[in-house]
A and B are shown apart, each in its own frame.
Chain A
Amino acid sequence: MSFMAVAPSQSEAAGVTESGKFSQTDEDLESAGFTCHSTIEDLDLDQLNALFSKVSFPQRDKGKLLRALENTQSLVWIQEIKTSRLIGFARATGDRVFHAIIWDVVVDPAYQGLGLGKVLMERLMADLMKMGISNIALYAEPTVIGFYQPMGFIADPDGIRAMAYSRRR
């Protein structure tokens, strides 16, 4: 088979998989009982806060949360069809041209181990790549560095360090 010099089709393109295709297609997910969304339409903020609390993320003021989501460049969320429950979420902010930062990647602990974290990341990255953004960064807690590495994320490349402003001075 000759080398494919052409990028995979946009609907399949996934920045994080070697094959360039999604590890689970929308059909695969549907058979497993899940559906994927990429807009804030029908996103239940209470459910999102509930999901955050399940992974010990801080609860968010809903007004601020709405504002954050409306100013978020890309987002993906996974819903269990049977219960309409929100079980996975991820979003990315940026300037829509050069950089993007991925935030709030969450999968309900009861649904972990099904590859849904990867599903979220693949679709989010594909969306960003579609916009032409390849400078993608994120802040990873120590326990999840191993989750992002196989996807091609490198920690502290060239000595670059993540820093956060601390008001405790």
Chain B
Amino acid sequence: MASALAPPCAVAPLRCRKLNCVYSSGKPHSSSSASSIAPFSVLRNAPLFARVEIVRGNGKRNMVVQAQAGFLKLLDGHALNLDRSDEYRIGARKTILTASYKFPRNDSPMSVQLERRDVQARSLWDSIRSGFGLNNSPTAVIDTTEIGFKEDVELEDEREVVLVEKVHDDGTVEKIVFASGVEVDVYELEILCDKVGWPKRPPSKVAAALRNSYMVASLHLYKQVPSTGTDGEDPVVEKRELIGMARATSDHAFNATIWDVLVDPLYQGQGLGKALVEQMIRALLRRDIGNITLFADAQVVDFYKGLGFEADPDGIKGMFWYPRY
């Protein structure tokens, strides 16, 4: 089996790698089909593992993607005629997904492009370089009729955006960073909620609410103080402080509702709330969530209008069950 890896595209600062893999027919599989390609590993990366298997039969192929963590997107390769491209989010536990596509009926090599984003991308490329080719032994063909989404998937997407960067006279660097995949510490959040005057909520419940939220967006302040040691030493990140947060619940497909948008009063007035919501909207749209909703207190309706939200769209009214003020 011939396989080739193209070098990663230089994409910064996003942690994503495009992998071009070319496959050609290998020896027939042990099944009864006349011509089949033995399944093989495309890439292997510990601790995040992914494999694409293609089995040919009757012009219709089954593409099985097995992964342990990360975010895999199947893209239409130039030699393939995919019915559609699908995004799959894979949780921390092993999840097996299937998709079937109509491939052209020929024996020419097919190319499959995988765009992969994961939280440990720094080691990803090295792992692939060392891992690929070591184990191309055919693996068992999984009966695709048995496979479906086995577990709830957890979104892992560490897209970070530096919103503000300030260098002070003494060399201290302050950065305000938006992230949609960084874990928010419940105790840091409690301090922040306190600062904006929100009522206290039990930490265990808050932790559960964050876990069950589709997206938790955060604004963190990073303070780097230059080292006073010898030349060539890297600056040390001294402090990280949570200064803003917003979260969204969702069915992962159609609707998302934004809750709990807050910014530390000390950092308000700088457009950070706007940036927080804007980045969150972008992240949700990237995930193809078509309906982004929220409930706005009367005094912030104009704020959200400025961000592209419409109140009472088509006369639709927000209703609450026995609300307590």
Task: Point out the residues of chain A lying under 8 angstroms from B325, CB to CB.
Answer: 157-158
Is A98 a contact of B323 with CB atoms below 8 Å?
A: no
In the bound assembly, the distance between CA atoms of A138 and B323 in angstroms comes to 12
Q: Contact mask A146-161 → B, CB, 8 Å, 1/0?
A: 0011011111111111
Task: Point out the residues of chain B lying under 8 angstroms from A161, CB to CB.
Answer: 295-296, 298, 301, 311-312, 318
Is B301 a contact of A137 with CB atoms below 8 Å?
A: no
Q: Which of B149, B214, B318 contacts A156 (CB 8 A)?
A: B318
- Chain B 271-309 residues near chain A, CB threshold 8 A: 281, 291-298, 301, 304-305, 307-309
Decide yes or no whether B317 CB sits under 8 A from chain A. Answer: yes
Decide yes or no whether A169 CB sits under 8 A from chain B. Answer: yes
In the bound assembly, the distance between CA atoms of A65 and B255 in angstroms comes to 11
Main secondary structure on A side of the interface with B:
mixed
In the bound assembly, the distance between CA atoms of A163 and B205 in angstroms comes to 26
Decide yes or no whether A125 CB sits under 8 A from chain B. Answer: yes
The number of chain A residues with a CB under 8 A from chain B is: 54
Task: Point out the residues of chain A lying under 8 angstroms from B214, CB to CB.
Answer: 71
Q: Which residue of A lies closest to B316 (CB)?
A: A139
CB within 8 Å for A71 and B251 given contacts A153-B320, A154-B323: yes
Is A139 a contact of B318 with CB atoms below 8 Å?
A: yes
- Chain B 91-147 residues near chain A, CB threshold 8 A: none
Task: Point out the residues of chain A lying under 8 angstroms from B292, CB to CB.
Answer: 164-165
In the bound assembly, the distance between CA atoms of A154 and B295 in angstroms comes to 13
Is A97 a contact of B212 with CB atoms below 8 Å?
A: yes
- Chain A 22-49 residues near chain B, CB threshold 8 A: none
Q: Contact mask A87-113 → B, CB, 8 Å, 1/0?
A: 000010111111101010000000000
Is B251 a contact of A72 with CB atoms below 8 Å?
A: yes
Task: Point out the residues of chain B lying under 8 angstroms from A64, CB to CB.
Answer: 253-254
Q: Which residue of A lies closest to B317 (CB)?
A: A155
In the bound assembly, the distance between CA atoms of A156 and B308 in angstroms comes to 20
Task: Point out the residues of chain B lying under 8 angstroms from A101, CB to CB.
Answer: 249, 255, 257, 293
In the bound assembly, the distance between CA atoms of A66 and B253 in angstroms comes to 9
Is B295 a contact of A160 with CB atoms below 8 Å?
A: yes
Q: Which of A97, A138, A156 has the most CB of B within 10 A?
A: A97
Task: Point out the residues of chain B lying under 8 angstroms from A151, CB to CB.
Answer: 321
Decide yes or no whether B259 CB sits under 8 A from chain A. Answer: yes
Task: Point out the residues of chain A lying under 8 angstroms from B301, CB to CB.
Answer: 161, 163
Is B298 a contact of A154 with CB atoms below 8 Å?
A: no
Is B309 a contact of A154 with CB atoms below 8 Å?
A: no
Residues on B facing A (Cβ under 8 Å): 86, 149, 152, 201, 205-206, 208-210, 212-214, 247, 249-255, 257, 259, 281, 291-298, 301, 304-305, 307-323, 325
Q: List 5 A-B contacts (CB under 8 A).
A: A97-B205, A136-B321, A137-B321, A142-B317, A162-B311
4 nearest A-B pairs in the assembled complex, by CB-CB distance: A162-B318, A159-B298, A68-B253, A165-B292
